[in-house]
A and B are shown apart, each in its own frame.
Chain A
């Protein structure tokens, strides 16, 4: 029981990270009906900017975080401008162009001498303090911080999407671009907004991830976090933002339990086998309503 609660706590803080990254994918996918493979790279850029600004340039951590979010947003907008907007109507070309873009950015960063391919340590703003709960399970200040920041971000985003005018425009475009356009919504603007929001959140996720694991490596986005985000989008059902947040938290808990009870080497299999089970028993996704089969065959 102790171990179970301990893994539950670990899983919730990991799940907050997963939920936020899935949110970025879901926003872009829901609004523009395209998949961007460069989102993981945006996440990585956010964390690396903080690292370089704080360690190499000696900037204060809080200022470095703001800088990291800004650079991540700019990268996201650059991806939108270069690899999405010109070929907006060809979702398949967008996949290939964003995938290529992601690798170009990562390899361009590797040209800089001080960025190795191996994981590098990341500074932590939290002290190593632990709170002991009942039954001896402990929660660190770090985990508490990650989870509460994640929760605040999630609530803020839900308010942004469901309570503001911009959020209403985003939801309208996600429902039907054509009707939204006839109602006077500027589709290009909405696309830029959704990319910007997704990239800010992405940058924040990258920084949270790096703080949580106290290290970061250059392919973290494209080889680890990005893949998880995609899986969560399918498991939750695309276009459902609260659903993807819940699924992200659940996946984090499931992975932590797997690490605790089976072993860390099968950790990645959890997400994929969950995906296939969901596909077999509920093809529209856990929270999706729209059937995703083109045609009953």
Chain B
């Protein structure tokens, strides 16, 4: 019985991790919907996490306020990226510039003593203190997360069908034709960063409340690449592709851990290294096997868009 309870605790923790990661990845998905390829959503989530940590830990205000502050922080970061990067660059160049934004922000966090410098902030309130809903004590935090995920999913479901969502899609397919059809490109690009930033900031705030500790290292490039991987691995046509991608990314390391146990407890005793090696190998394999994503493409009758072909097209258009 003891072992079974331990297993349930593990599943509970992984589910929390999955929900939080899913929200951040959905933020990345919204930005990618308009063809803006971002490697900065880890950093936007970091802004949200630091915002809620400052509000609920340093100032002692209610954590619910922290969630909204996190969203606001994500919006501010998104606006910065819109005006400085997104209006000026495209394709690969945009990716490198957002990448640099991510690294620069980590340096900033490290050098600001107010948010704890390199050590970060420890002892942030846990998720179940956000809302006063207490149904059954062991899974109170899960309820809150499910509510947030449901709200975000509902928003995305309605959003994709809306005029704005379809103009995002049109911009993704071809910026020139979209503009010729009357889509306001400036507005679409800005809104994709603002909405994506808000969702990523909300996810980052929940991330802080989930693990209780934040450090600058948590929001660096490796995290951003994982966030980006969720839509890319999962599939890109509809938002539920992200659910599949996030599932692989969150459960993948645990599965690799079991595999590592099976093949002999870490070659040379380096357990985390072996786990990460197997996991990265797994996702490289998935990328090489199905570069278009797992969840959609083959077997679906409707014509699907392909983020990769889009980027090559953007570069080819420039070259001609």
Contacts and interface: CB of A to CB of B under 8 A. Distances in A.
A87 B232 contact: no
Given A100-B283, A103-B276, 4 more contacts: A33-B315, A89-B308, A269-B104, A292-B89
B319 A96 contact: no
Contacts of B93: 234, 238, 292
A195 to B, nearest CB: 17
Given A230-B100, A279-B85, A268 B107 contact: yes
Contacts of A230: 96, 99-100
Contacts of A82: 288
A279 B99 CA distance: 14
A139 interface: no
A227 B95 contact: no
B280 interface: yes
A293 B268 contact: no
A287 to B, nearest CB: 14
Contacts of B87: 293, 297
Interface stretch (A109-117, A146-154, A209-217): A109-117
Nearest to B221: A227
Interface centre among B84, B88, B225 (most CB of A within 10 A): B88
Q: How large is the interface on A (under 10, 10 to 19, 20 to 34, 35 or more residues)?
A: 35 or more
Contacts of A110: 270, 273
A92 interface: yes
B280 A103 contact: yes
B88 A90 contact: no
Interface residues of B, number: 58
A295 B175 contact: yes
A234 B91 CA distance: 12
Given A92-B307, A293-B90, A87 B288 contact: yes
A107 B272 CA distance: 9
Given A83-B284, A279-B85, A294 B317 contact: yes
B254 interface: no
The A interface is mostly helix, strand or loop, or mixed, namely helix
B173 to A, nearest CB: 13
A34 B84 CA distance: 23
Contacts of A283: 88-89
B287 A93 contact: yes
Nearest to B32: A92
A92 B308 contact: yes
B277 A273 contact: no
Interface string B91-122: 11101110111011001101100000000000
B309 interface: yes
A50 B273 CA distance: 23
Given A100-B283, A266-B107, A35 B273 contact: no
Given A93-B291, A96-B228, A268-B103, A279 B89 contact: yes
A99 B223 CA distance: 12
B312 A90 contact: yes
Contact of A294 (B99, B225, B270, B318): B318
B229 interface: yes
Given A110-B273, A279-B85, A295-B179, A35 B92 contact: yes
Contacts of A93: 232, 287-288, 291, 308
A183 interface: no
B273 to A, nearest CB: 4
Contacts of A280: 84, 88
B309 A90 contact: yes
B175 to A, nearest CB: 5
Interface string A230-269: 1101100010000000000000000000000000011011
Interface in B270-320: 270, 273-274, 276-277, 280-281, 283-284, 287-288, 291, 307-309, 311-312, 314-315, 317-319
A275 interface: yes
Given A230-B96, A233-B96, A290 B318 contact: yes
A82 B90 CA distance: 27
A91 B311 contact: yes
A293 B232 CA distance: 24
A86 interface: yes
